[in-house]
Structure 1
Amino acid sequence: MWYLYGLTILAGLANAVQPGQNAALSKSFGLPVTAAVVILFVSTGFMLLGGLAFGKLGVPSWQQMAEVPWWGWLGGCLSVLLILAQLYAAPSLGAASFLGIVVTVGVAASIVLDHYGWIGFQVHPASLWRVLGAGLMIFGVGLVALT
């Protein structure tokens, strides 16, 4: 299980670097939405290669697709939202403010999702410590964004 922490750390690093890379692509093209499409094509290509390399790529059956809850299909839409925010907001806000806001809002929303067990998560009550931690993150992002 330790490798999952390593993967998560790498994802955190990618999350900090990716907005700058995506914004550079957008600036070079002069067309943010075109850049977003290119980003998604590159992502799809790497996902296909990785899936093939690790033997984790397959075609789901119609029954499997029918069993997906309606909200399970919306993850791709949220990826587009995140990419567009990287292209439009990150260059103006800066890397620290942008990522701080994204992560902090994500943690606060995750506490609610965990508390109610929404969208497939196991229930993890919103304890005083979790809520206090989110509050401290909001305070910290405020400090980062104001300087």
Structure 2
Amino acid sequence: MFTILLAISVGAIFAVQTAINAQLRKFVISPFLASMISFAVGVIFLTITILISGSPLGIPLDLFLSQPIFIWLGGIGGAIALTTNILLFPKLGSVQTSIMPILGMTLMSMLIDNYGWFNSIQYSFGLNRIFGVLLVLIGVFLAIAIQDKQNEQHTSQTNKKNMLNQWIWRIVGIMAGMLLAIQIAINGQLGKVLHSSSHAALVSFFVGTITLIIIVGIMDRSYTNIKEPIKQSAPWWIWIGGILGGSYVLINVYLVDQIGNGQTVILALFGQITGSLMVEQFGLLNSLKNRVKPIQIFGLIVMVAGVFLIRIF
């Protein structure tokens, strides 16, 4: 029972992290800088965690030479995906910012499994998986498309343009989810090579941080806005997105060992969707309050059922 509640909680943590990072962006302005701060905090958190556990931080040099280059670059995909989520949150709201990447993750993970990309174990398509994908697509339609259809009845030309922009952002969200699936596959292989999921997570966060430091230097050409949350007396919790991200990775490692990968994914997904519903329904963490409709909840349940078929069978 404890592991079930923990798995649901860790999914909710992911939804809360996105909301927190979106608020951090309001103070630092740049989504790239907000992502950089989150990743840097995650690196510090994971480093302290590994040191407390008594494990050495160092990685043998020969591993860098003997392993394919892609195995060290999972953090790049994570950095891009996290930045995308920060951009999506004010455009789509908490619920859609959760479910569009889930759709992308589901589709890409099936491709990775089917073709054995990134040295993953190969699992061919089956009827259960195909039916699962159809359920996920139906769930997305119920949660999004029907709501858009209702809005079309009283939309102006400007609002129709805004709806088109929303669909563009939704596609971006799907692509971000695909990057997350690639990151998970790469980090899974890195964990096997390093014989430590904690070290794999640290490498991923470190690479993501370096990537974002470079991106901020190119795009923003300044790091001075990092002081703005302090100057504006921002709430303390806007700094903990990286801690939640690091905790998400570490707890998932524990859960996979306890209840297996399939159950962990399903329960965490349920928690993520529940958390996003709560954030949007009640406007938590200073986010935009938006009443969730029953049809959306039903659509999300259908999505969970589809992912269950994909992950378990």
Where on the TM-score scale, by shorter chain, does this alignment land: which range?
0.7 to 0.9
What is aligned with 1:107? 273
Structure 2, unmatched stretches of 5+, are: 1-164
What is aligned with 1:139? 305
Matched residue type, 1:44: T
- % same residue: 22
Q: Larger radius of gyration, structure 1 or 2? A: 2
What is aligned with 1:128? 294
- Asked if residue 74 in structure 1 is aligned to residue 227 in structure 2, the reply is no
Query: What is the CA distance between 1:100 and its match in structure 2?
Result: 5.4
What is aligned with 1:21? 186
TM-score normalised by structure 2 residue count: 0.40
Q: In the aligned structure 2, how far is the partner of 1:81 from the partner of 1:56?
A: 31
What is aligned with 2:149? none
- Asked if residue 48 in structure 1 is aligned to residue 213 in structure 2, the reply is yes
Count of aligned residue pairs for this structure pair: 144
Query: What is the CA distance between 1:104 and its match in structure 2?
Result: 4.2
Query: What is the CA distance between 1:68 and its match in structure 2?
Result: 2.2
- Higher relative contact order at CA 8 Å, sep ≥6: structure 1 or structure 2? 2
1:19 touches 1:87 (CA, 8 Å); kept in 2? no
Match of 2:201 among 36, 41, 46: 36
Matched residue type, 1:128: P
**1:4-19 mapped onto 2 (5 Å cutoff):** 4-19=169-184
Query: What is the CA distance between 1:11 and its match in structure 2?
Result: 1.0
TM-score normalised by structure 1 residue count: 0.78
Note closer, same or farther for the CA distance 1:11–1:17 as it changes in structure 2 (3 Å cut): same
2:280 touches 2:288 (CA, 8 Å); kept in 1? yes
Structure 1, unmatched stretches of 5+, are: none
